[in-house]
Amino acid sequence: MNNKWTKSFWVFLVGSLFLISCSDHENNQESGEFRIKGQLLGKPGEVLYLERFGGGGDLLVDSFEMDASGKFELNGYTDSPDIFVLYTNPNNYTYLLIDEKEEVQLTGNIENLDLGLSIDGSPGSLQLLRLKTRHKHLQDKLDSLQRELLSKRDTLKEVILNEADASVQAHVSFLKQFVDSNPHSLASIAALFQKIGQHRLISYEEDLDYFKKVDETLTQLYPHNYHVKDFHSKYLKMHEQYRFEQINASMIGIGSTAPDIDYPGPNGENFRLSDLRGKYILIDFWASWCSPCRRESPYLVKAYQEFNSKGFEIFQVSLDKHHDQWVQAINEDGLAWPYHVSDLKYWDSEPAERYKVSSIPTNFLIDPQGKVIDKNLRGETLLRKLDELLNP
């Protein structure tokens, strides 16, 4: 099959999860053989394909031309849990996690292979479907709350944002429990890399023990498995990057002097961070396309309204790349303070590099002398910190 499936296995991990399965029933198959059969109604003449992921590219395993009965059978071989894609075209596909000797039964409609299948005989594929469905429910919930947020009065926005945060945190807890219970499973790789938009739900920086546990367990169990080796390679790179960031972060840690920032605002006028010396300043790195950043906006607005007259200022640095989208987000979120800057270089942002920012939102609170006194203050935590400083 051509490059339509080679967007990489990790793209698939964003939206779906899979689980290792072990078949302990006995049959007459040779070791490693598996069979997928069942009935998929809806489109006689459609060709059903089965391909394997990994090993340096996709590999066609089997195919079947459907007739009016909808009955089909596909056969393949694997000597360890592996990922397969079942599809009719690039817009109609599903992923299966199959172990050797499994006899998988599928029923449904051939025109809806994603979430519309009934699966039997493959615990891994069932778990994949369940977890992918759960992720979709979270995304649908957040989309609904986003629409509600745009239609409600300001007094209700905080309630909606809290509900969104609670939904995300509940899902993150679920993923962590899943990884803790299944470090031997390839599914844990998917859980660790799941995202909402551009935001990783489990970050290596905050939850490195989960990555280490999965890497050590899977490498011991399946040292030759393509996906395990691929994850191990990514794990080593993330760990090296983490160590590098930890070393660099020490240069702008608590007690260090905040590097100066001098960049253009929305109207082309430059704003210099050092010109605000004498105030408590929150240096906030964000972007219009960053949903977690936008969810922090009401808290920033509230902090500015309550503490600006007492010597508090916000200096926002955007990682946007489109001027219009940057300005639109400022207006939509009511970010009324004047100090907005950006070089519109996206992740190549020079201020972000200077502050060693690798994810957003990220913020630094500096005192009137320009020293960093706290980092990554979110939501009510920011308000409590400012209240402590400015309402002694």
Domain with CATH 2.60.40 in the chain: 3-125
8-state DSSP, 361: S
Asked whether the bond before 361 is cis by omega within 30 degrees of 0, the reply is yes
Domain with CATH 3.40.30.10 in the chain: 262-390
More confident residue, 313 or 11: 313
Identify the pLDDT of residue 204.
84
Q: Residue 379 — very low, low, confident or very high, per pLDDT cuts 50/70/90?
A: confident
Architecture of the domain whose range is 262-390: 3-Layer(aba) Sandwich (3.40)
* Helical residues (DSSP H) of the chain, grouped into ranges: 9-15, 123-151, 154-181, 187-192, 208-221, 226-249, 291-307, 323-332, 350-354, 379-390
Helix (H) or strand (E) segment spanning residue 280: strand 280-286
- Output the six-digit token pair for 250: 């020490």
Q: What is the mean predicted confidence (pLDDT) over 22-44?
A: 71
pLDDT of residue 325 exceeding 80: yes
Asked whether 80 and 62 are in contact (CB, 8 A), the reply is no
Asked whether 227 and 221 are in contact (CB, 8 A), the reply is no
- Output the six-digit token pair for 131: 């977890």
- Output the six-digit token pair for 81: 């849990």
pLDDT digits (tens, 9 = 90+) for 261-292: 999 999 999 999 999 999 999 999 999 999 89
Task: Please say whether the structural domain 3-125 has been given the CATH code 3.30.70.
Answer: no
Place of tokens 């010597």: 311
pLDDT digits (tens, 9 = 90+) for 200-240: 899 887 889 999 999 999 999 999 888 899 999 999 998 88
Dihedral of the CA atoms 249, 251, 255, 259 (nearest 10)? -100
pLDDT digits (tens, 9 = 90+) for 40-83: 999 899 999 999 987 655 689 999 999 999 999 999 999 889 98
Judge if pTM exceeds 0.75.
no
More confident residue, 56 or 99: 99
Identify the pLDDT of residue 57.
56
- Distance, in Å, from the CA atom of 161 to the CA atom of 171, rounded to the nearest integer, reads 16
Of the listed ranges 74-88, 103-117, 143-157, 342-356, the one predicted with least confidence: 143-157
